[in-house]
Amino acid sequence: MKRNHAFDFLCGVCIIRMMMLHITEVCQLAQEDWWQGVMYWSFFFMSFFFFKAGYFNKTVSGDSRAYCWDKFKRLMVPYFVWGAIGSVVYFAFAWFVLDPKNTMVKALAWDHLWTTSKFYGNVPCWFLLSFFCAYIAMHFMVKVRGLRWLALTFPLISWWLYTQGNPLWLSLNNVFFGIFLFFLGRVWRWVLQRLSRPTALLLSLVLSLLFVYVNMERHGEYEMSDNLWHGDVWWILLSTVTSLCGLSGVLLSVNLPRVPVVNYIGQHSMVFFVAHYPMLVFYKMVRSANGHSLKAHWDDYILLTAILFGVCFLLVPYVERVPWLSGRWKKKVETEVPVKETLKTE
C-alpha cells in the first residue's frame, strides 16, 4: 500500500516553525504582530513530537534494561554530543573573543548546569532529555497494570509545578505533560484503528473546528520548553488535545501526498533539530564580536534562514551515518506501527 505521509509532513512543519522561531528571536522580531499570529495558531507544535512518539509506539513491553539502553543511545548520546558541540562554540567566543561586558557573557551562571537541561550554545537539547524521561516513565507505567491511568492527572501536576515556579532541576517540569501526550497518541491510534476512513475524517474535522473555536474564544498557550501555562489550564488542555488529534486525524484520513521539501525535513528532523542552533549561535557571536546588532535586520534574517536550512540539508547524509550524532542505531526489532495500518478502509 502507498505510504501515508501525514506525520512526516507535520513533523517537517514543526521543525520549520521551530527553526524560524529561533531565527525570529535572535533578530528580535518575536514581538511583531505577524509572528505573534504564527505563535497564536502553532503553540502546540512542540507537544506534537510527544504525541507522535506515543502514536507510533506499538509496545513498550520486553526487557526493561534493553529498552532503557536503546532509548539512552538514541536520545541521550546525541544530547550530550550536540550539547558539547554547542558549548564549544559558545564558550570559544564567550571566553576568548567577546567583551566581558557583553550580555551573552554576563548571562553565564554556574547553576545553569543543574537547573536547566538547555546547553549554552545548543538550547533545544532540553527536548532530548525530557523526551528520554517520558519514554522511560511510559515504559514502566505500561508494565504495571492500571498505572497508566495516572497519566490523566499529569497535566495538572505539570500545571501545579508551574505555579510553584517550576522547581524541578534539569527543566524536567514538562515531563509530566509529555507523558500525558504519549498516552494521548496511543489512545488516538487505538480510536482511528476502529473507525472507517469517512468516520475518522468526520470526527477529526469536528475536533479541528472545536480547536479553532476554543483558540479564538478562550485562547491559552503552553510552552513546553519551560513548562509555562499562559491562560486557563482546562482551556489550554482542550486546545492541545483537539488540535493534535484533529489535525493529525484529518491528514491521515485524506491520505496526504508527499510534500517534497517539508516531508524531507520531517523524515530527517533529528539533524535539523540538533544542528541548526550552534550555527545560529556562531553567526550571532561573530556579528556581536564585530559590534553588529541583529535587531530588526531583515538582511540577517534572510541570510540566517538560507544558511541554517541550506547547511542542515547538506549535513543530513553525513550526520545520519554517525549514530552518536543522529541517534540512528540499528534496531533488532521494529516497534513502530506503519501509518497505513492505522485507518480502516471504507
pLDDT (0 to 100) of residue 1 = 45
Residue 237 confidence (pLDDT) above 90: yes
In a domain, 42, yes or no: yes
For 145, phi then psi, to 5°, come to: -55, 130
Chain segment 162-184, per-residue pLDDT in tens: 999 999 999 999 999 999 999 99
pLDDT (0 to 100) of residue 72 = 96
CA 119 to chain centroid, in Å, comes to 16
What does the pLDDT average to over 213-237?
A: 96
pLDDT (0 to 100) of residue 293 = 87
With cut-offs at 50, 70 and 90, classify the pLDDT of residue 218.
very high
In a domain, 27, yes or no: yes
**Taking Cα atoms as reference points, which of 291, 292, 298, 312 lies closest to residue 124?**
312
CA 327 to chain centroid, in Å, comes to 16
Residue type, 186: R
Residue 201 confidence (pLDDT) above 60: yes
What does the pLDDT average to over 57-61?
A: 65
The grid coordinates of residue 228 equal 509555562
pLDDT (0 to 100) of residue 60 = 61
Containing structural domain, residue 114: 6-341
Chain segment 72-106, per-residue pLDDT in tens: 999 999 999 999 999 999 999 988 888 888 878 88
Q: What percent of the chain has pLDDT over 70?
A: 93
With cut-offs at 50, 70 and 90, classify the pLDDT of residue 31.
very high
In a domain, 1, yes or no: no
**Where do runs of H (alpha helix) occur along the chain?**
6-26, 33-42, 45-56, 64-71, 77-96, 103-106, 112-115, 126-143, 154-163, 175-193, 197-217, 233-253, 260-267, 269-289, 298-319, 323-326
What does the pLDDT average to over 144-171?
A: 94
**Taking Cα atoms as reference points, which of 274, 265, 220, 272 lies closest to residue 242?**
220
In a domain, 105, yes or no: yes
pLDDT (0 to 100) of residue 81 = 97
Dmax of the chain from CA atoms? 66
Q: What is the pTM of this model?
A: 0.91
In a domain, 195, yes or no: yes
CB contact at 8 A, 23 and 280? yes
With cut-offs at 50, 70 and 90, classify the pLDDT of residue 342.
very low
Residue 339 confidence (pLDDT) above 90: no
* Mean pLDDT comparison of 56-70, 132-146, 261-275, highest-scoring range: 261-275
What does the pLDDT average to over 323-343?
A: 65
Residue 197 confidence (pLDDT) above 90: yes
In a domain, 346, yes or no: no
In a domain, 102, yes or no: yes
With cut-offs at 50, 70 and 90, classify the pLDDT of residue 289.
confident
What does the pLDDT average to over 217-238?
A: 96
Number of separate domains in the chain: 1
Residue that wins the pLDDT comparison between 94 and 241: 241
Residue 291 confidence (pLDDT) above 60: yes
Residue that wins the pLDDT comparison between 2 and 40: 40
pLDDT (0 to 100) of residue 3 = 66
In a domain, 159, yes or no: yes
Residue 336 confidence (pLDDT) above 70: no
